[in-house]
Amino acid sequence: MPDSNFIDYVKIFCASGNGGAGSTHLRRAKYIPKGGPDGGDGGRGGNIILRANPQFWTLIHLKYRKHIKAGHGGDGSGQLCKGKDGEDVYLDVPVGTVAKDAETGEMLFEMMQAGEERILVKGGRGGLGNNNFKSATNQTPRYAQPGEPGVEGWFILELKILADVGLVGFPNAGKSTLLSKVSAAKPKIANYPFTTLEPNLGIVDYYDGQSFVMADIPGIIEGAHLGKGIGLRFLRHIERNSILLFMIPADCDDIRKEYGILLNELKEYNPELLVKGRMLAISKSDMLDDRMKAEMEAALPEDVPHIFISSMTGENIRELKDMLWKVLHEENS
């Protein structure tokens, strides 16, 4: 996707600042020939800090900023003057960003709250000046500590979309059409697979000014948890959804089988996803009459509430929003 503005994965090199050296200065004045040590401490090196900014929804601003370096701490000086601290570097990232060590793959932390700040790379400590080492037996120490070196390395930042409702289904199941129907989002819609190549978010208005966030996740295919299609790239976005709305079109050959495949892909990727609340929406139901719906209901999965909907005609869209709102509140409580 060379022309896409949605970037949810970046690898960056970060180097924090070195700490400044402590001073070995000895106080000298006109009438104080032997004033003793007054060397100040060195300043700390600059940190590289991630800051969760709710106005950001992609990592594109870091795509071409591969090397990030913080400022070095200043050296201490006489008269107990402390060196200047190195300049910190703040990187604004979307809420839902995960930081990892690129070499080990270890997850360092997650940015879950707007305004949250976490140090990604800590600057080196400043060295102590000789004033810290004076004693009754060593009144004029002529040594001080050097500053600690900064830390450098490669880090991975991954974005996991935060939403109340995540739409899960195979390509061309009608997810984008539903999102465009219930919100102001305008995802690309066409009658062929993999129309959606990046997650889309929409605000769904409910009664009395209340609302919830719905995410259209790109279509999953069988074997997505093994990296087939574009599965691994977007399966992680499902992890941050409160509830999952499975969407299967009415013209599917076997709805129960298709639902089982989708459920298995989530299980193989992350078994914890099965703990989330689930609903099943049979899309494109405007092609069905009451008798056909009754026949299909007998073959639907029993362990998940279902509803027949049509985004084109608006059939049961309001009822779907009611069901989602109810399940959301059950999950939150």
Q: Which range has the top average pLDDT, 129-133, 136-140, 178-182, 238-242?
A: 129-133
Longest dimension (CA), the chain: 107
Q: How far is CA 40 from CA 7, 45, 106, 149, in A?
A: 46, 16, 38, 18
d(CA 37, CA 239): 58
Residue 236 has pLDDT above 80, yes or no: no
Q: Where are the beta strands (DSSP E) in the chain?
A: 9-15, 48-52, 67-69, 89-93, 97-101, 107-110, 117-121, 152-159, 163-168, 200-205, 211-216, 241-249, 277-283, 306-308
Q: Comparing C-alpha atoms, which of 158, 185, 144 is closest to residue 41?
A: 144
Structure tokens at 40: 């100040």
For the chain, what percent of residues have pLDDT higher than 70? 88
Lookup: tokens for 253: 């050959």
Query: Which residue type, as a one-letter code, is found at position 31?
Result: Y
d(CA 97, CA 110): 6
The residue extents of the domains of the chain are: 1-159, 163-332
Tell me, what's the pLDDT at 332? Answer: 61
pLDDT tens readout for residues 280-308? 999 999 988 888 988 888 889 888 999 99
Provide the residue type at 109 as one letter: F
Per-residue pLDDT for 193 more than 50?
no
Query: How far is Cα 324 from Cα 212, in angstroms, rounded to an integer?
Result: 9
Q: What is the mean pLDDT of residues 247-265?
A: 89
Q: What is the pLDDT of residue 108?
A: 95
Topology agreement, domain 1-159 and domain 163-332: no
DSSP letters, 197-232, are -S-EEEEEE-GGG-EEEEEEPPPP-TTGGGT-TTHH
Give the residue, 178 or 238, on which the prediction is more confident: 178
Q: Which two tokens stand for residue 161?
A: 């979309």
In the numeric block, which tokens belong to residue 170? 């195979």
Q: What is the pLDDT of residue 233?
A: 59
Query: What fold does the segment set 1-159 form as a domain?
Result: Spo0b-associated Gtp-binding Protein; Chain: A, (2.70.210)
In contact, 330 and 279? CB cutoff 8 Å: no
Candidate CATH numbers 1.10.510.10, 3.40.50.300, 3.40.50.2300, 3.40.640.10; the one for domain 163-332: 3.40.50.300
pTM of the model: 0.71
Q: Out of 38-42, 194-198, 199-203, which region has the weakest mean confidence (pLDDT)?
A: 194-198
The H-assigned helical ranges of the chain are: 175-182, 231-238, 255-269, 290-297, 317-332
Secondary structure letter of residue 234 according to DSSP: H
Residue 268's pLDDT is: 85
Supply 302's token pair. 């029993």
Mean pLDDT over all residues of the chain? 85
Range of weakest confidence among 79-93, 214-228, 233-247: 214-228
- CB-based burial label for 175 (10 Å; 0-12, 13-18, 19+): buried
The type of residue at 85 is D
Q: Answer for the pair 108, 101: CB distance below 8 angstroms, yes or no.
A: yes
Cα–Cα dist 218/199, whole Å? 6
Report the alpha-carbon distance of residue 20 to residue 87 in Å, rounded.
12
In this structure, of 26-30, 71-75, 136-140, the range with the lowest mean pLDDT score is 26-30
At residue 92, φ and ψ (nearest 5 deg) are: -75, 130
Local confidence band at 126 (pLDDT 50, 70, 90 cut-offs): very high
Cα-trace Rg, the chain = 29
Q: Is 207 exposed, middle or buried (0-12, 13-18, 19+ CB in 10 A)?
A: exposed
Distance CA 118, CA 107 (A): 13
Flag the least confident range among 20-29, 162-171, 283-292: 162-171
Q: Give CA–CA dist 272/266, Å, rounded.
A: 9
Q: Which of 90-94, 102-106, 192-196, 297-301 has the lowest mean pLDDT?
A: 192-196
pLDDT higher at 163 or 234: 163
